[in-house]
Amino acid sequence: MEENNSFPMSVAIKDAYRCGEEEEGMGPICLVKSDNSPIGRICSGDYVIFYDIRGEREIELTQAFTSPGFDRFPININLRTKWVTMIQYDSDLNVKVAFPPLGLIHDTLSEVVSNAGMRQIKITESEKSTHITYFMNGKREDTFPGEDRDLIPSPADVKNFDQSPQMSCAEVTDKIIEAIRGGGYDLICANLANIDVVGHIENRDAIIEAVRTVDHHIGRIVKEARAADIFTVVVADHGTVEKWYYPDGKIDTGHTDSPVPFMIISPDGKQSMELIHGEGGLIDVAPTVLHMLGLSKPDVMTGKSLINSCPSFQSGLKVLLLIVDGWGYNPSNEGNLIAAAQTKVMNSLMEKNPWMCLSASGESVGLPADTVGNSESGHLHLGAGRIVPSDRVRIENSIKDGSFYSNNNLLWAIRGAINDGTNLHLIGIVSFYSSHGSIDYLFALMEMAKNEGLDRVFIHSFLGRRGERPESGAYYVRQIEEKTKQMGTGRVVSVIGRYWALDREHNWDRIEKTYNLIVNGKGRRAIAKI
């Protein structure tokens, strides 16, 4: 009983597990008093710090609170709140930003191709549209001159993509083939999303089907490119399912620190290229593609071309850059779902064409040392051709050197709540290391609030097991509940799966469920010890 009273939210999560719920899709849980009235709802005048990073999945929920005339679902039009986001999610949001962008990354692959007067197209399905456009273009939202985009909707009628592991891969492939046959593009950049997206779900059969789907469509694409005299560069942005188990045998649904394959496939009748010997990273892909297109890499690109000079190589080719999202390389078959899928097409291509492994994690893609890769940093570095320090590194360094605790916009929210006599709400992912953020950010914000003398702090936690061990949500929420008791500041007042809170496909019914939890207290009840 003491645990139930002292740690009600982590206990409620465990109850949800017993009812068959899992982290990502977990329904809303609301902390209430003994009279069933909700605790810690967001009210007018309150301040909110959304401590997630990355951003593309955080935009919709932020819009529901901050965009004038918001009409995607019913909201309290009289609710006026003041928001700070950890990084810039979207330049149009009416929020303060704790760690503003350092600026656009210029002289990316796409910009150099555009400046040369060449035509290019980006093709993928909507689940990866932000990565191949915004991130690959150096965090630029607009297209470059001569750049087209063909973005196919991902299936919207499924709760999780393991119900449709093929996703929209066939339609994406059709569009790639259409661009190949049209002959009007010097550079085609395409992303096949299935392995990464389905790989985050604990469903072995679905993952194997996703891998086989991608493998099949790689064969279709390469066949057409060869026939059209186009060179195909195959690479991935990070690994996922090639290491599907932790050392103790439990399933790991997150990204990995594996290298990724890099391969150049020549057209029919053309002599294959010779790759350099030695190590490489994702930052070497843009210089290699520019080399193939007959363009000089800009000085800011510190990556190198991976092609050895040889008499048979003539620059000025047409190139297809095919990103097989989440396809890591693991020479061992143990726990390797790519190997388990028996990828006949890729295996054959790797036997017949030059290939090598590239680093796609940690410091090689601007992340802290010994950390896994992700799609954002992967695509960013594929386009940038240089190492770009991530927001994560900036924030973690600021916590280490203490500058985090004097951040003007974070202090604005904390001191504003004190001066106005209102509440501070901390919302975001609960994870030791998600691409959306870390529990350490939450703890640092709680410490800031305590140092400033604010105890009216309410925590709204989003659960998502990507890269976490089974039932880790309860563990992390328990950590937060223990921390609040220890510090005498803060209270976990709501919990919901990231499926409902962090959408990027305009599934407004999901965001509405999250809004109704954190504003109106709609959800399963967890009774607090008052």
- Both tokens of 394, joined, read 């900036």
- Both tokens of 510, joined, read 């999901």
φ, ψ (nearest 5 deg) of residue 443:
-65, -40
pLDDT in tens, 126-140: 999 999 999 999 999
Give the pLDDT band (50/70/90) at residue 309.
low
Between the alpha carbon of residue 399 and those of residues 396, 444, 461, the distances in Å are 5, 7, 21
| Mean pLDDT, range 138-161, rounded to an integer | 93
Give the pLDDT band (50/70/90) at residue 365.
very high
Cβ proximity of 494 and 461 under 8 Å: yes
Cβ proximity of 355 and 263 under 8 Å: yes
3-state helix, strand, coil in the chain (%, to 5): 40, 15, 45
pLDDT in tens, 317-338: 899 999 999 999 999 999 999 9
User: What residues contact 395, with CB distance under 8 A and at least 6 apart?
Assistant: 53, 86, 99, 404, 441
| Mean pLDDT, range 338-365, rounded to an integer | 96
Give the pLDDT band (50/70/90) at residue 416.
very high
φ, ψ (nearest 5 deg) of residue 427:
-125, 145
Considering only the C-alpha atoms of the chain, give the largest distance between any 2 of them, rounded to a whole number of Å: 82
DSSP lists the bridge partners of residue 123 as: 150, 190
| Mean pLDDT, range 34-55, rounded to an integer | 94
Q: How far apart are the first and last CA of the chain?
A: 14
Quickly count: other Cβ atoms within 10 Å of residue 465's Cβ.
25
Cβ proximity of 450 and 489 under 8 Å: yes
Between the alpha carbon of residue 264 and those of residues 110, 249, 273, 284, 356, the distances in Å are 19, 35, 7, 13, 10
Tracing tokens 């003398």 back to the chain, one arrives at: 453
Handedness of CA 233, 387, 137, 237 (dihedral sign): positive
Quickly count: other Cβ atoms within 10 Å of residue 220's Cβ.
16
Cβ proximity of 34 and 530 under 8 Å: yes
Lowest average pLDDT, out of 27-31, 156-160, 206-210, 234-238, goes to 156-160
pLDDT of residue 316: 73
Pairwise CA distance, residues 349 & 505, whole Å: 34
Nearest-CA neighbor of 132 among 193, 179, 74, 183? 193
- Rounded to the nearest 5 degrees, what angle is found at the Cα of 183, between the Cα atoms of 181 and 186? 130
- Rounded to the nearest 5 degrees, what angle is found at the Cα of 44, between the Cα atoms of 430 and 511? 45
Residue 475 DSSP SS3: helix
pLDDT of residue 433: 63
- Rounded to the nearest 5 degrees, what angle is found at the Cα of 349, between the Cα atoms of 137 and 133? 10
Domains and CATH numbers, the chain: 2-100+393-527 (3.40.1450), 109-388 (3.40.720.10)
pLDDT of residue 1: 38
Lowest average pLDDT, out of 60-69, 308-317, 422-431, goes to 308-317
Cβ proximity of 151 and 129 under 8 Å: yes
Pairwise CA distance, residues 98 & 51, whole Å: 9
The length of the chain, given as a count of residues: 530
pLDDT in tens, 376-410: 999 999 999 999 988 888 999 999 999 999 999 99
Give the pLDDT band (50/70/90) at residue 530.
low
Pairwise CA distance, residues 464 & 25, whole Å: 8
Pairwise CA distance, residues 286 & 233, whole Å: 11
